[in-house]
Structure 1
Amino acid sequence: MKGISGTQTRGLLNGSRLNVIDNSGAKEIEIITVPRYHGVARRVPSAALGDMVIASVKKGTPAMRKQVVFAVIVRQKRPTRRADGTMVFFEDNAAVIVTDTGETKGTDIKGPVAREAADRWPRIAATANTIV
């Protein structure tokens, strides 16, 4: 289809809180920054589906709390336009804890994962039960 953009709508800013949907021990994280984000001067870095972020664990097991971790965003509330023209949005903002190379720390992912994140991160696609 000509003229329909497949770019991501960036719906998550620094300070946004995300649910963690894997079994790594973290329950909620807060975005600190977005690596490899090239924006405009004084603009707050933002992230979208499939982006890796650096986050702080706010809720979870005592061993995980207050740690700084890498995470990949797999769901976002803000509607995103896909290349075929469909709009996709979810009920919550969710992420999966990963290593700096993209390997998942947990062994199970609960709930659906966006296709944009699964296409970009093969380990998340292999672990996910449902890809939307």
Structure 2
Amino acid sequence: MIRKQTKLKIVDNSGAKLIRIFHLFGYSLIQNYSKVGELVLGSIFRYRVGRKVQKKQRCLALIVTVKRNISRKNGIRIRFDETRGIVLSETKKLLGTRVFGPALKEIRCGLFMRLASVVSKLV
């Protein structure tokens, strides 16, 4: 689960390493946390020099994996070592061209069909 003031690790080549979340979107806003496949708004906390993003820049991020267990309808439970996300532009397009590491299939059913072709592995 992702809450406000959480530092989210970024796993694409947009140039951001960490973002600090300050706003949540989606249905889970009522419960005050975000899940996989939901958008969050944050600012760049750490970045690689000479890339598309700068420090303290506002950006949207899509949550790709979470550390908490995820249960599917067929009984499988999936858990990752850390929570990761992908940086998006203001028009909800991918800023990076590659995504490192796996992503969950639950993301594919949303607005982000292009992500299925960019990500290295869907779990």
TM-score relative to the length of structure 1: 0.82
**Aligned ranges for residues 85-100 of structure 1 at < 5 Å?**
85-100=75-90
Does 2:116 align with 1:129? no
Does 2:10 align with 1:16? no
Q: Percent same amino acid among aligned pairs?
A: 27
Partner residue in 1 for 2:43: 56
Mapped to 1, the partners of 2:117 and 2:97 lie a distance apart of 10
* Aligned match for 2:17, one of 18, 27, 41: 27
Code of the residue aligned with 1:126 in structure 2: it is: S
1:73 Cα shift?
0.2
* Greater C-alpha radius of gyration: 1
8 Å Cα contact 1:109-1:127 kept in structure 2: yes
TM-score relative to the length of structure 2: 0.87
Aligned CA RMSD, in angstroms, stands at: 1.6
**Aligned ranges for residues 54-93 of structure 1 at < 5 Å?**
54-62=41-49, 63-93=53-83
SS in 2 for 1:110: strand
Give 1 or 2: higher strand fraction. 2
User: Between Structure 1 and Structure 2, how many residues are aligned?
Assistant: 118
